[in-house]
Amino acid sequence: DTGVSQDPRHKITKRGQNVTFRCDPISEHNRLYWYRQTLGQGPEFLTYFQNEAQLEKSRLLSDRFSAERPKGSFSTLEIQRTEQGDSAMYLCASSRSRGQRTDTQYFGPGTRLTVL
């Protein structure tokens, strides 16, 4: 257990529905990352926050995806009008980064999304 928690662990939804996932990072970590992982592939970056500011978004993050970190602690990732291609593992990671120095990203267990 890395200290990063995600909820729910599994989500099954029907195409067209909205889903929201939550990530609670390690408490002293100022950076929070979202990745998506499909079967047999490495995680792909979606977006990341430093405190409450969203610093970078991947082109993978279509306008149906939105992420927030309103108080600089937990984060939510919402997918609107889900499509079957959204089926994947959604991973959250957190790190303590200071200036240009990168510290290790610690990953949560992931949320497995299945869109029927």
Give the binding site for another protein (CB under 8 A).
2, 4, 31, 33, 35, 40-45, 48, 56, 58, 91, 93, 97, 99-102, 104-110, 112
Shortest distance, CB of residue 54 to another protein, whole angstroms?
Answer: 12
Shorter beta-carbon distance to another protein: residue 22 or 112: 112
Is the link from the previous residue into 8 a cis peptide, with omega within 30 of 0? Answer: yes
Q: Are 21 and 76 in contact (CB under 8 A)?
A: yes
Shortest distance, CB of residue 100 to another protein, whole angstroms?
Answer: 5
Q: Are 67 and 75 in contact (CB under 8 A)?
A: yes
Shortest distance, CB of residue 110 to another protein, whole angstroms?
Answer: 5
Tell me the two tokens of residue 97.
């980064």
Lookup result for tokens 């200290």: 3
Shortest distance, CB of residue 16 to another protein, whole angstroms?
Answer: 27
Shorter beta-carbon distance to another protein: residue 19 or 23: 23
Which of 8, 35, 54 minimizes the C-alpha distance to 106? 35
